Amino acid sequence: MSDPKPITQAADDAMTAMPWHIQDGLRYGLLGLPLAFCALPLYVLMPNLYAQQWGVSLAALGFLLMGVRLFDALIDPWLGRLCDGLYAQSASALFRISTLACVALSIGFTALFSPMTHDANALLWWAGAALVLTYTAYSFLSLAYHAWGAMLGGDANFRSRVVAWRESFGLVGVLLATVTPTLAGITAMQVLFVVTLWLGYAAWRMSTHPNGLLAVTAQATPTSSTTPVRTSQDMRLPWKYADFRRLLAVYLLNGIASAIPATLVLFFLQDRLEASVAMQSAALGVYFLFAALSMPLWLKAVARWGLVRVWLFGMLLSIAVFAGAGVLGAGDIAWFLLVCALSGAALGSDLTVPTAMLAGQIQTHEPKQQTAGIYFGWWNFAGKLNLALAAGLALPLLGLLGYVPGARDAQASLLLTLAYCLLPCLLKAAAAILLYFSFIKAKPLTTLLPAQPEADH
């Protein structure tokens, strides 16, 4: 058997899509399930458990979460650079660290929801340590996993299929994380996460290697053609390219527009629509279910109209849906389920298209270097910044204007509707306009891959 090729050789024929069958999608996509499963308990369940059931001060918990999440966002570019260095060596080097990351993620997630103390002060330290371990391991594994998919190469249709498999499994993970704690309890949730994590990791190791990289061996070594990332200047490498800056700006605007209603949806359901607890769960379930079901439709649309046009249509659909939600009032639950179905379908384009566009940029920007990790490091940083900015915009603004959770008077209802419906529509419209002028009007629609970088002046 010949020696394994370094993964950097993938860039030499990045435009050639390898065969992609159902088994390839299953092997690569499965790890997306536990990674998405992990996020919902961290952001939704953990604060409730520590504050309401275990008596931790809400203010102290809030400061802890803010600090840890800021740390999590800031380390992503550095973890991305670490991934690039490992990819530049061999797949075996990458998987050695990824195995450690899986061990750390299993321990951190389990420890977070099974603390060995219930003293309020000790719990803060316990939660802080468990969160740092969990976030760090999760971020590294996610970056390595996303970079692998980007380096598979191919045209826009192929890249969108790779992303769709990953995100479809991710939506299944979100659905499981939504119902498992309620139906089966916290322990069952932990067991399910750890089992699916290791199954997904094993499947990933057996998935299609970028450009036919041979089976993982401990003897794999870098070759003279390998160009690993070594300098601090490489951290800024993606920012040299105008199309990356434009894509990230669209992604940020669009992401904040999507994160605001996600932050406020329970307030809207409870105070504007006066929905029962069961209907609140049903609305979230419908949203994620239709996002998953819409994936095949978006893939067909990409094959016909291209990535940019499809993403633009998804944004316009989302704007129309949230504008319609603004006329709903108390008791309009059935209509809101339709809103959830259509907005979930629109979410499918957000999950499929932007990452596929980024993968295309990685192929053309630095074809001789291993830089996918840095790109996804900044990409993940932007995604986490979306969540922080959404909460930082919507909640303080509502409080400043006088909204109090639980209030159902006309003024409170109007403020909540404006924040939940109007503000996201304005941000989505801004993202759509920027997308149009940056990637449609500025270049031919037949261009699937972004342009070369602008020359430095």
Q: Does residue 7 carry a pLDDT above 80?
A: no
With beta carbons less than 8 A apart as the criterion, state whether 294 and 344 touch.
Answer: yes
Is the pLDDT higher at 163 or at 247? 247
Angle between helices 186-205 and 156-184 (to 10 degrees): 160
**Nearest 5 degrees, angle CA 101-CA 386-CA 405?**
110
Cα-to-chain-centroid distance, residue 281: 22
Q: Which of 120-124, 201-205, 342-346 has the lowest mean pLDDT?
A: 120-124
Angle between helices 32-40 and 120-150 (to 10 degrees): 150
- Extract the tokens encoding 316: 């316009």
Task: Kindly report the pTM of this predicted structure.
Answer: 0.69
**Distance from C-alpha of 357 to C-alpha of 156, rounded to nearest angstrom:** 8
In the block, residue with structure tokens 């909460």: 391
pLDDT digits (tens, 9 = 90+) for 11-32: 334 334 456 678 888 899 999 9
Residue 254: which residues within 8 A CB-CB, separation 6 or more?
315, 350, 354, 427, 428, 431, 435
**Distance from C-alpha of 385 to C-alpha of 69, rounded to nearest angstrom:** 9
Q: Where in the chain do CATH 1.20.1250.20 domains reside?
A: 26-228, 234-445
Pick the CATH number of 26-228 from 3.40.630.30, 2.70.98.10, 1.10.3720.10, 1.20.1250.20: 1.20.1250.20
**Distance from C-alpha of 217 to C-alpha of 239, rounded to nearest angstrom:** 35
- Extract the tokens encoding 57: 């001060």
With beta carbons less than 8 A apart as the criterion, state whether 405 and 271 touch.
Answer: yes
In the block, residue with structure tokens 């989505």: 428
pLDDT digits (tens, 9 = 90+) for 86-98: 888 888 889 999 9
**Nearest 5 degrees, angle CA 128-CA 133-CA 138?**
125
**pLDDT classification of 48: cutoffs 50, 70, 90:** low
In the block, residue with structure tokens 């074809």: 367
- Extract the tokens encoding 86: 């490992």
**Distance from C-alpha of 195 to C-alpha of 190, rounded to nearest angstrom:** 9
The per-residue pLDDT for 95 is 93
- Extract the tokens encoding 248: 């990230």
With beta carbons less than 8 A apart as the criterion, state whether 283 and 265 touch.
Answer: yes
On the CB side of 87, CA atoms within 13 Å amount to: 34
Tell me which CATH code domain 234-445 carries: 1.20.1250.20
**pLDDT classification of 368: cutoffs 50, 70, 90:** low
pLDDT digits (tens, 9 = 90+) for 410-433: 787 888 888 889 999 999 999 999
